[in-house]
Chains A and B, each alone.
Chain A
């Protein structure tokens, strides 16, 4: 897996990237909250939101194709719930409301994660007095999640190259074996990380 795929543009340079992370986080949060609060009849609000976000995208030198693909990945989820909402008496109205609001929020979050490195987001949360344990867990998770995904993919590839087919029950057992070993390796890795962290002065 491409490790930097998700926030691939977080570390490029642009006027938006140079803005303080706290400002970007605050604006994104305010925009998402106000979008949830504003009624759908306030068309000027939603139009100005979209224009503002498109301006941020261009000023942040993010390719429109990349942002578009990231947006489309959510659509199946939205479509599923939207279909359910369509089956009430003002369903079309609810459908439009969901699609407009969810896409604006999604666009804001894609832009935030691709203009702000995650470490900077965590630094802002730390100054906001978020619980230190939660921040440590988030930082470690961001550091190691792609490593573990790679590790599980290597194990799955090794299994595929050694087995041909097999009954479904058998395949479930081997998949569960992979997940189980992933957990065991994670605990062993956590012990090594603890030694390395204390050796470098972590209290």
Chain B
């Protein structure tokens, strides 16, 4: 999933770079506040570990083999902020020394593999953990998170390539997501096996200690979630609307599309996710989507405030 230089245009590189810089800033601030000095060398070693672990082969079939990607595993072991920083460091070293992934494309790669692949995966992990709280629930949560974040990252990667005019969305999206739905199964199984191996040998490393849990983790995940939502709105939603949705296509086939209510009961501010008076349909979709994200974000914030006031800890 490493995008090389030459595949992205400047607007995509700038947009992904800004989102990644924001996520990295959030992560570094959190670590500067909460990471003990004793743990700083572990961050560097974790980066080297991810790199070396990616070279261990897992045989698939017919002589091919897969390997660990590691974003969710690192986030589950060290926390989401450390996950973002470690994966960013890995991607910087890979692009500067191994020319694996580009410099201009670094923002996109950090966004796909660090922000979605690590912090986003961790958010899924925590979400599943809320439902399955026992020990085997951890492995299940890890697998769901590894699978989900890999597929979402692949879809975003396809969106970025399409936005740059490199690979058309109708081609890149199915190719990337179909391929990564398979790769993600491997990632899920490998992550769970490695986690189980660590837990068997050194249970103290993976022990969940509620006393030492980061205080502001919920707020961090909220910020990462908002950044990822903006990314999805920017990279995926402009293309999603090109395919008529199920109801619309049925309506046009059966001929009742023209019979649809011309005047809606409640007038919508963004009709069909576009804003009247804006020339470019793509820009209009993006702005409408961003506005929608902000509204949902604000709604979530208000809801969270109300709910937390009701049940003070």
Interface centre among B7, B39, B48 (most CB of A within 10 A): B48
Asked whether, in the complex, the Cβ of A84 is within 8 Å of the Cβ of B96, the reply is no
Known: A134-B28, A179-B68. 12 other contacts (CB 8 A): A84-B167, A84-B171, A102-B102, A113-B97, A133-B32, A145-B48, A147-B48, A148-B52, A172-B58, A176-B190, A179-B194, A186-B42
Asked whether, in the complex, the Cβ of A98 is within 8 Å of the Cβ of B96, the reply is no
Instruction: From B2, B5, B13, B202, give the contact of A101 (CB < 8 A).
Output: B5
Q: How far is the CA of A185 from the CA of B85 in the complex (A)?
A: 21
Instruction: From B24, B39, B52, give the contact of A182 (CB < 8 A).
Output: B52
Q: Which residue of chain A lies nearest to B202 when distances are taken between CB atoms in the complex?
A: A184
Say how far A193's CB is from chain B's closest CB, in angstroms: 4
Say how far B115's CB is from chain A's closest CB, in angstroms: 15
Q: How far is the CA of A5 from the CA of B87 in the complex (A)?
A: 23
Interface centre among A85, A101, A105, A175 (most CB of B within 10 A): A175
Say how far B116's CB is from chain A's closest CB, in angstroms: 19
Q: How far is the CA of A186 from the CA of B68 in the complex (A)?
A: 17
Residues on A with C-beta less than 8 A from B55 are: 149, 152-153
- Tell me the residues in window 102-146 of chain A with beta carbons closer than 8 Å to chain B beta carbons: 102-106, 109-110, 112-113, 118, 121, 131, 133-134, 136-145
Interface centre among B42, B68, B93 (most CB of A within 10 A): B42
Residues on B with C-beta less than 8 A from A87 are: 168, 171
Asked whether, in the complex, the Cβ of B43 is within 8 Å of the Cβ of A140, the reply is yes
Q: How far is the CA of A139 from the CA of B86 in the complex (A)?
A: 12
**With A81-B166, A109-B99 as contacts: A176 and B193 at CB distance below 8 Å:** yes
Asked whether, in the complex, the Cβ of A182 is within 8 Å of the Cβ of B49, the reply is yes
Main DSSP-derived SS at the B contact region:
helix
- Count the B residues whose beta carbon is within 8 Å of the partner chain — how many? 73
**With A74-B99, A84-B171, A106-B99 as contacts: A180 and B28 at CB distance below 8 Å:** no
- Tell me the residues in window 1-55 of chain B with beta carbons closer than 8 Å to chain A beta carbons: 2, 4-10, 13, 24, 28, 31-32, 35, 37-49, 51-53, 55
In the assembled complex, A197 has its CB within 8 A of some CB on chain B: yes
Asked whether, in the complex, the Cβ of B6 is within 8 Å of the Cβ of A180, the reply is no
**With A141-B51, A175-B58 as contacts: A85 and B41 at CB distance below 8 Å:** no
**With A88-B168, A98-B6 as contacts: A140 and B41 at CB distance below 8 Å:** yes
In the assembled complex, B95 has its CB within 8 A of some CB on chain A: yes
| A-B contacts, 9 listed (Cβ < 8 Å) | A7-B97, A73-B99, A84-B172, A98-B6, A109-B5, A147-B48, A171-B59, A180-B196, A189-B45
In the assembled complex, A14 has its CB within 8 A of some CB on chain B: no
Say how far A148's CB is from chain B's closest CB, in angstroms: 4
In the assembled complex, B299 has its CB within 8 A of some CB on chain A: no
In the assembled complex, B281 has its CB within 8 A of some CB on chain A: no
Please, what's the 1-or-0 string for A134-178, where 1 marks a CB less than 8 Å from any CB in chain B? 101111111111011101110010000000000010011101111
Q: How far is the CA of A110 from the CA of B10 in the complex (A)?
A: 22
In the assembled complex, A37 has its CB within 8 A of some CB on chain B: yes
Q: Which 3 A-B pairs have the closest CB atoms?
A: A140-B44, A180-B197, A101-B6
Residues on B with C-beta less than 8 A from A36 are: 5-6, 8-10, 13, 104
Residues on B with C-beta less than 8 A from A183 are: 46, 49, 53, 77, 194, 198, 205
Residues on B with C-beta less than 8 A from A28 are: 103
Asked whether, in the complex, the Cβ of B6 is within 8 Å of the Cβ of A35, the reply is yes
